[in-house]
């Protein structure tokens, strides 16, 4: 889910504790609170403090970190940085545990050592997505629900042993594209407007030794998806984890990329916007199959030329 610009250089290895010397702060809209939690998780979720104000739609983000990280975050996201005296300050322990399990088919790891140790064991295919400044480690509701719907949409194709393809629009860390390759997709293409997201997606493909996924920089509002001869669409599943405004503006292009009988997975949608987004794509000939909800977020599955299944809404 591409939500902002990111720095062009990777951050230093954060597997070791960072010295807390600086405080980065900025004001944001309350509706993006949990998106910021994932976006800044690479620096240690326990180091992030979110302050809310009575009768206000704004929040203040305070991230306690080191000098180099604070500089890179400010360059990417704005805000302000000041020196911080960490004497006597201890962050609370993180509540995040590996792996994140998706529908019994996937295990998403952030910790490389644990991934290497458990990769060949346990139920489900293992995928390593280190926390970083590209959106998408699986923890955020938009990404987790996309993964869940991806497993479900791919199940009948996998059972038939037919080859299949996926287009991931707003690839972020590459997590959906790489999960699709793990699930057996033979042709996978991920796109993002941000060069750093494309680079990080390629790095994550190398980390996981996955070679069928390709990633490119593209503006979904201008880009045209590849087609077969005769200009027929080539993707069995299209996943678009983008802002609702972008989903609406790019809706015609998104639908044009899906094969007849194919599936569209939409995320990045606030629950209050769900009906509006469904209507946009229904007007383009798609049929609503399922909605999954968690908190204020919704993920939607739609079919192209399919009869809609009974709508199911899941809240957690």
pLDDT of residue 97: 67
Q: Is residue 120 part of a domain?
A: no
Q: For residue 233, what is the DSSP state?
A: B
Q: Is residue 112 part of a domain?
A: no
Beta strand pairing status for 235-241 and 213-217?
unpaired
Q: With bands split at pLDDT 50, 70 and 90, how would you rate the model's confidence at 184? A: very high
Q: Is residue 119 part of a domain?
A: no
Q: Is residue 106 part of a domain?
A: no
Q: Is residue 118 part of a domain?
A: no
CATH code: domain of residue 220: 3.40.50.150
One domain for residues 71 and 152: no
Kindly report whether the global pTM for this prediction surpasses the value 0.75. no
DSSP 234-289: -EEEEEEE--HHHHHHTHHHHHHTEEEEEEEEEEEEEGGGHHHHHHHHHTTTEEEE
Q: Which residue has the higher pLDDT, 193 or 263?
A: 263
CB 186 within 8 A of CB 154: no
One domain for residues 15 and 73: yes
Does the pLDDT of residue 313 top 60, yes or no?
A: no
One domain for residues 3 and 56: yes
- Give the residue from 77, 96, 115 where a domain finishes: 96
CB 212 within 8 A of CB 237: no
Question: What is the chain's mean pLDDT, rounded?
Answer: 83
Q: Which residue has the higher pLDDT, 302 or 49?
A: 302
One domain for residues 277 and 154: yes
Q: Which residue has the higher pLDDT, 49 or 287?
A: 287
Distance between CA 142 and CA 299 in Å, rounded? 7
DSSP 185-210: -SEEEEEES-HHHHHHHHHHHHHTT-
Range of the domain at 71: 1-96
Token readout for 46 is: 């326990």
One domain for residues 70 and 211: no
One domain for residues 166 and 296: yes
One domain for residues 83 and 150: no
- Give the residue from 81, 96, 111 where a domain finishes: 96
Q: Is residue 174 part of a domain?
A: yes
One domain for residues 168 and 305: yes
Distance between CA 134 and CA 207 in Å, rounded? 15
One domain for residues 301 and 187: yes
Half-sphere exposure of 114 (CA within 13 A, CB side): 15
- The model's pLDDT over 248-306, given as tens digits with 9 standing for 90+, comes to 999 999 999 999 999 999 988 888 899 999 999 999 999 999 999 887 889 999 999 85
The structural domain count of the chain equals: 2
Does the pLDDT of residue 73 top 60, yes or no?
A: yes
Q: Is residue 115 part of a domain?
A: no
CATH code: domain of residue 18: 3.30.70
Percent of the chain's residues with pLDDT above 90: 42
pLDDT of residue 260: 94
One domain for residues 209 and 304: yes
One domain for residues 291 and 171: yes
Q: Is residue 8 part of a domain?
A: yes
- The model's pLDDT over 26-48, given as tens digits with 9 standing for 90+, comes to 998 887 777 787 778 777 767 88
Alpha carbon distances (Å) from 124 to 102, 119, 130, 182, 186: 8, 10, 18, 10, 19
One domain for residues 59 and 169: no
Average pLDDT over residues 143-169: 92
Backbone angles phi, psi at 36, to 5 degrees: -65, -35
């Amino acid at each position: 889910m591409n939500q902002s610009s990111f720095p062009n250089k990777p951050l230093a290895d954060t597997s070791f504790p960072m010295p807390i010397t600086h405080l980065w702060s900025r004001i944001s809209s309350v509706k993006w609170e949990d998106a910021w939690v994932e976006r800044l998780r690479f620096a240690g979720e326990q180091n992030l403090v979110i302050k809310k104000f009575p009768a206000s739609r704004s929040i203040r983000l305070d991230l306690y970190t080191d000098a180099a990280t604070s500089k890179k975050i400010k360059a990417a996201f704005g805000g302000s940085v000041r020196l911080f005296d960490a004497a006597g300050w201890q962050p609370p322990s993180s509540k995040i545990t590996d792996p994140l399990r998706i529908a019994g088919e996937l295990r998403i790891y952030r910790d490389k050592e644990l991934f290497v140790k458990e990769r060949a064991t346990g139920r489900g295919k293992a995928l390593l997505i280190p926390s970083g400044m590209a959106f998408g480690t699986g923890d955020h509701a938009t990404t987790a629900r996309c993964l869940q719907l991806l497993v479900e949409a791919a199940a009948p194709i996998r059972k038939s042993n037919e080859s299949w393809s996926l287009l991931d629009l707003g690839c972020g860390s590459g997590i959906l594209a790489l999960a699709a390759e793990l699930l057996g997709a033979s042709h996978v293409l991920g796109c993002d407007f941000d060069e750093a997201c494309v680079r990080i997606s390629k790095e994550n493909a190398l980390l996981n030794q996955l070679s069928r996924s390709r990633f490119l920089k593209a503006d979904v509002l201008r880009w045209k998806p590849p087609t077969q001869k005769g200009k027929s669409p080539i993707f069995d599943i299209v996943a678009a984890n983008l802002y609702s405004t972008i989903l609406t503006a790019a809706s015609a292009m998104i639908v044009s990329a899906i094969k007849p009988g194919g599936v569209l997975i939409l995320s990045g949608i606030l629950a209050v916007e769900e009906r509006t987004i469904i209507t946009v794509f229904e007007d383009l000939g798609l049929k609503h199959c399922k909605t999954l909800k968690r908190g204020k977020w919704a993920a939607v599955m739609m079919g192209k030329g399919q009869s809609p299944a009974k709508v199911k809404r899941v809240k957690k």
